[in-house]
Amino acid sequence: MSDIRAASVTVELAALLHNFSRIKELVPHSKLMPVIKANAYGHGMIRVARALAEADGFSVAQLKEALGLRAAGINKPLTVFQGFQNLQDLELIFQHHLRPAVSQLWQIELLEQYKGSASVDVWLKVNSGMGRLGVQADEVEEAWQRLNALKCVATVGLMTHYANADIAGHLSNQQQTEVFRQLHQTYSAETSVSNSAAIVSQLYPDQDWVRPGIMLYGASPLQGVTADQLGLRPVMQVQATLIAINKLKKGQSVGYGDRWVCPEDMPVGIVNIGYGDGYPRQASEQTPVLINQQKTHLIGRVSMDSIAIDLRDISAQCGDRVELWGIQLSVDDIADHSQTISYELLCRLGNQLDIQ
């Protein structure tokens, strides 16, 4: 057997570009600021930013992510969802021409204290129902006036975020739309509303900037709809290696807690990936894996650095690569078997394994 390859992640940039064009088709009249926080959902922030040459800008959660992009020579408009926490942050925002979201009145106080001569565009983030970041609807007027009075603020955009866009037809989507629509009509401002789910569901067609995340990476933003049905292609593929084949007898057990007991004499495969690599420990026994184009499934509990798979009726030998998700197994499917969402799996694996 040749040397054993560790578990690894492959990122298919052609699929990323395909998904980007798909988003453009859905929102031809809006600018796109792909969301590349959390290391581009585990796909490599700088790699993704360089690949998306046609993006109008990018958005990240934290200042330090934006600084990383600037250091890598990314010169497009960059939105920072969490904005700034103090005057030092603010200096960096000005110095690197970042566009912060302002979601607390004390952040406006910091801007009021700024003594420099530079100016930036900001987003005034409004809580229309998500209840996370954003000034309350009755604070908007004050925030708007104070921001617009500042020399260091060039323009003020209005931004909001849906809480239930992943559920088509959810009542709160309509309520949030109405709250924001009212503000949109009152203030003359650039607007940004939609994440992936809201883009797909066309919850707010007339906005200046959309913020697609998950769909860019080829997972579905909507419950009950597959990525494939939405014309999206998976970007991340996770593979590991079959490192052992055990011929077990009927009645023998596999893994911690003896959760799997062989119902007959059978071959059991051991694959070198586990929860220590970010593979979900919650993954149930029916979670699919792919080996040599054949689909099989986990058996027993996920260990720290390995999983066991059923090799009955499967042709395989040690050293073969095993796909945990990717082109033929959707990450959404694995998430469904693991009581989580694709977002978490992508972030975890991509940020823990080597990306190839």
In whole angstroms, what is the distance from residue 280 CA to residue 61 CA?
A: 24
Burial of residue 14 (number of CB atoms within 10 Å: 0-12, 13-18, 19+): exposed
Whole-angstrom distance, CA of residue 12 vs CA of residue 10: 6
Q: How far is the CB of 184 from ligand PLP (least distance, A)?
A: 17
**How far apart are CB 274 and ligand PLP at their closest, in Å?**
27
For position 195 contacting ligand PLP by CB under 6 A, the verdict is: yes
The question of whether 256 is a catalytic residue gets the answer yes
Name every residue whose Cβ is closer than 8 Å to that of residue 202 and which is 6 or more positions away in sequence.
26
Stretch that binds ligand PLP, among 18-26, 209-217, 254-262, 319-327 (CB under 6 A): 209-217
Stretch that binds ligand PLP, among 24-32, 200-208, 213-221, 284-292 (CB under 6 A): 213-221
Contact indicator for 16, 51 with CB cutoff of 8 Å = yes
Single out the segment in contact with ligand PLP by CB under 6 A; choices: 107-115, 212-220, 234-242, 332-340: 212-220
Instruction: Check residue 211 for interaction with ligand PLP (CB under 6 A).
Output: yes
Instruction: Mark 243-262 with x for binding to ligand PLP (rule: CB under 6 A) and - for no binding.
Output: --------------------
CA pair distance 37, 51, nearest whole angstrom: 15
Q: From CA 212, how far away is CA 210, in angstroms rounded? A: 6
Of 167-175, 195-203, 238-246, 331-339, the segment contacting ligand PLP by CB under 6 A is: 195-203
Do 265 and 353 contact (CB within 8 A), yes or no? Answer: no
Q: How many CB atoms lie within 10 A of CB 239?
A: 22
Using CB under 6 A as the binding rule, whether residue 214 contacts ligand PLP is answered as yes
Closest CB to ligand PLP: residue number: 213
For 287, list phi and psi in degrees, rounded to 5: -60, 125
- What are the tokens at 215? 């769909």
Instruction: Considering only residues 36 through 55, tell me which ones interact with ligand PLP, judged by CB under 6 A.
Output: 37
Contact (Cβ atoms closer than 8 angstroms) between residue 265 and residue 247: yes
Q: How far is CA 6 from the centre of its chain?
A: 24
Q: Smallest distance from the beta carbon of 169 to ligand PLP, in angstroms?
A: 17
> Is the distance from CB of 290 to CB of 269 less than 8 angstroms?
no
Give the interface size with ligand PLP as a residue count (CB under 6 A): 12
Instruction: Compute the distance between CA of residue 81 and CA of residue 111 in angstroms, rounded to an integer.
Output: 16
Question: Which lies closer to ligand PLP via its Cβ, residue 100 or residue 300?
Answer: 100
Compute the least distance from the CB of residue 19 to ligand PLP, in Å: 11
Q: Is 161 in the site for ligand PLP (CB under 6 A)?
A: yes
Contact with ligand PLP (CB under 6 A) among 157, 221, 234, 288? 221
Pick one of 42, 134, 212, 274: the residue that binds ligand PLP (CB under 6 A): 212
* Token reading at 114: 């700024």
Pick the piece of the chain touching ligand PLP (CB under 6 A) from 183-191, 210-218, 236-244, 331-339. Answer: 210-218
Q: Quick check: 35 binds ligand PLP (CB under 6 A)?
A: yes
**Least Cβ distance, residue 133 to ligand PLP (angstroms):** 7
Q: Quote the distance between the C-alpha of residue 288 and its chain's center.
A: 22
The owner of tokens 């040749």 is 2
User: 37, 204, 275, 279: which one is catalytic?
Assistant: 37
Least spacing, CB of residue 172 vs ligand PLP, in Å: 15
Q: Using CB under 6 A, which of 82, 127, 196, 296 touches ligand PLP?
A: 196
Give least dist CB 47 to ligand PLP, A. Answer: 18
Q: Which of 76, 250, 256, 295 is catalytic?
A: 256
* Secondary structure (DSSP) of 179-245: HHHHHHHHS---EE---HHHHHTTS--S-SEE---GGGGT--SSTT--TTTTT----EEEEEEEEEE
**Residues of this chain that bind ligand PLP (CB under 6 A):** 35, 37, 81, 161, 195-197, 211-214, 221
Q: Which residues are catalytic?
A: 37, 256
